[in-house]
Amino acid sequence: MSERIQKVLAQMGLGSRRQIENWIREGRVRINGSIVTLGTCLNPDDRLTVDSRQIKLPVAGEAVDTRVLIYHKKVGVICTRQDPEGRPTVFADLPRLRQGRWIAVGRLDINSSGLLLFTNNGELANRLMHPSYEIEREYAVRVLGEVSAETLKRVITGVELDDGVTKFDSIVDAGGSGANHWYHVVLKEGRNREVRRIWEAVGHKVSRLHRVRYSNVVLPRSVRPGKFEQLPPDVVEILMAAVDIQGQARPKHTQSKRQGRNKTRV
């Protein structure tokens, strides 16, 4: 049975749906030697190449197990695969995959820390990031200066940014003393530096930003900065169901880095 090529490649973990669509527009993807267009269907016996490299297609009826990693990002680490300045990247800490590659679900800027999700399923990554699914992201944020009740009302009713109006879906006072105060904020989209820009728009600078939750996945205390842990299949299935993806995430073994040692986790 034929399927659209961008869907197949995303499910194989070669990239997010958006990345693959860009490859197709750039003429980097070919089927049986011919450049493809968006919407081209792929058959199991086709010869597929990306940048002249042949891609092995899954055997008909063979499902690629969806895997998801919890990763604890440190401040000072960037979310790109490679950096021309030689700065450390989150991908250097991840285990190797035999097929496909890890795709980051959203990003955190270099000065932010906390939860990042990685998956080998490009369609899952794409849907978890797409604003239409309204997936919650929760952050612990420390701001400078006393925040008035009027300001707290503004950040949950709407703040005008250069790319449109946005807001926090909820905000909870998490305490603090002196010039610093902590809040837990939740929003359902992932614009660039959105949390920081909302606070800056109301006159407050963010001194710490730490993501603690993405959808139903909470960053556990056991996962130390720079380390990762694989989500169990039942939790992955809940995550997939939240974005209307049907399938079974079967258990896999991977290497989990903790305290400088490698451990196997199902």
* Crossing angle for the helix pair 122-129 and 233-241, to the nearest 10 degrees: 50
- Dump strand ranges (E) for 74-135: 103-105, 113-119
pLDDT at 69 over 90: yes
pLDDT in tens, 144-187: 988 999 999 999 999 999 999 999 999 999 988 778 899 999 99
- Whether the per-residue pLDDT at 263 is higher than 60: the answer is no
Average pLDDT, rounded, for the chain: 86
DSSP annotation of 59:
P
The answer to whether 38 touches 29, Cβ cutoff 8 Å, is no
Contacts of 84 (CB under 8 A, 6+ apart): none
- At residue 81, does pLDDT exceed 80? yes
The average pLDDT across 247-263 equals 43
Q: What is the CA radius of gyration of the chain?
A: 20
Q: What is the mean pLDDT of residues 189-210?
A: 94
| CA separation, residue 88 to residues 74, 119, 229 (Å) | 10, 20, 19
Least confident window among 44-53, 157-166, 218-227: 44-53
With vertex at residue 91, the alpha carbon angle to CA 88 and CA 92, rounded to the nearest 5 degrees, is 60
pLDDT tens, 149-161? 999 999 999 999 9
Domains in the chain with CATH codes: 3-55 (3.10.290.10), 136-214 (3.30.2350.10)
d(CA 214, CA 105): 9
Other beta carbons within 10 Å of 70: 22
User: Does pLDDT of 246 surpass 90?
Assistant: no
More confident residue, 16 or 226: 226
Residue 260 and residue 226: Cα distance in Å, rounded?
Answer: 10
pLDDT at residue 139 tops 60? yes
SS3 27: coil
Residue 14 is given by DSSP the state S
Task: Output the pTM of the full model.
Answer: 0.77
Closest CA to 122 of 205, 66, 192: 66
Active-site residues, by number, are 109
Q: Which of residues 58 and 150 earns the better pLDDT score?
A: 150
Q: Report the pLDDT value the prediction gives residue 172, as an integer from 0 to 100.
A: 96
Question: What is the number of helices (H) and of strands (E) in the chain?
Answer: 6, 19
- Rounded Cα gap, residues 240 and 252, in angstroms: 17
pLDDT: is 258 or 202 the higher one?
202
Q: Are 125 and 15 in contact (CB under 8 A)?
A: no
Alpha-carbon distance 130 to 134, whole Å? 8
How confident is residue 39, by pLDDT bands cut at 50, 70 and 90?
Answer: confident
| pLDDT of amino acid 58 | 67
Q: How far apart are CA 47 and CA 109, in angstroms?
A: 39
Give me the count of residues in the chain. Answer: 266
Q: Residue 183 has what pLDDT?
A: 96
Q: Is 55 exposed, middle or buried (0-12, 13-18, 19+ CB in 10 A)?
A: middle
Would you tell me the crossing angle of helices 122-129 and 17-25 to the nearest 10 degrees? Answer: 110
Q: Determine the pLDDT at residue 97.
A: 85
User: What pLDDT was estimated at residue 266?
Assistant: 23
